[in-house]
Amino acid sequence: METTQRSDHQTSADRRRRELLEAADRVVLRDGPGASMNAIAAEAGITKPILYRHFGDKGGLYAALAKRHTDALLASLRAALDAPAERRERVEATLDTYLAAIEARPQVYRFLMHPAEGGPQQPAEAGFDTGRNSIPVLRRMGEELGQVIEERLDLGPGTQQLARMWGHGIVGMMHAAGDWWLGERPCPRAELVRALADLLWGRLAAAGDRVGGPGF
């Protein structure tokens, strides 16, 4: 009986947490990096102390939102990498998946990657300081991509280390190029995808697939 009650309580808490994250998402879509705990609490129809009880502080809520969006993005990137197509096509599809994601939800991207940009604010209403918190998001993406590369390509001696270097390097390239492109829109997305794929198309094109692996 006690176990069932605990399980029901956990299920209810998880559901409530999801609801609060969805409310936070709505505020982020509207306010971007200027989203505040007060605005999120109001959107959820609760008081700020209740919001703190679920997430601890702004950093806890930011981490939960970052995980939510990073999980979804990584799943999309893996799907693009595993699609039945030639390697160049999959590389372009992966780059396009990332750029399409930040283009579709620019406020979410800015919330995850940039400090508050809304100008002077009252301390109680200040936006999330995401500048320092975005680093773990990029590192996680780099590690995940490095693992994918290691699983799919035979790079010879030192494959694991080289795959990690490539993973972080590619994520850094996508992030920097995507950030510039999203801010200035100097060209169509497809043109940027082709240019970045050309940049990668050196040793990557010549690397052999792992025997029995899905390829890259």
Q: Tell me what pLDDT residue 104 has.
A: 94
pLDDT grade, residue 27 (50/70/90)?
very high
pLDDT, tens only, 103-136 = 999 999 988 887 555 444 444 444 455 555 567 8
DSSP 64-113: HHHHHHHHHHHHHHHHHHHSSS-HHHHHHHHHHHHHHHHHH-HHHHHHHH
DSSP state of 33: G
DSSP state of 211: T
pLDDT grade, residue 177 (50/70/90)?
very high
Cα–Cα distance, 113 to 14 (Å, whole number): 26
**Kind plus residue range of the DSSP H or E element containing 29:** helix 2-31
The residue type of 22 is E
How far is the CA of 185 from the CAs of 55, 74, 97, 126, 175, in angstroms? 36, 24, 17, 29, 15
Does residue 87 have a pLDDT over 80? yes
**For 175-200, what is the mean pLDDT?**
95
User: pTM for this structure?
Assistant: 0.79
Query: Out of 67-71, 110-114, 115-119, 183-187, which region has the weakest mean confidence (pLDDT)?
Result: 115-119
**For 42-49, what is the mean pLDDT?**
92
Q: Tell me what pLDDT residue 123 has.
A: 46
> SS3 for 115?
coil
Check if the beta carbon of residue 153 is closer than 8 Å to that of residue 163: yes
> SS3 for 57?
coil
**For 24-41, what is the mean pLDDT?**
91
pLDDT, tens only, 161-175 = 999 999 999 999 999
Q: Tell me what pLDDT residue 4 has.
A: 57
**What domains are there in the chain, each with its CATH number?**
64-209 (1.10.357)
The pair of structure tokens assigned to 2 is 């006690």
Q: Tell me what pLDDT residue 216 has.
A: 62
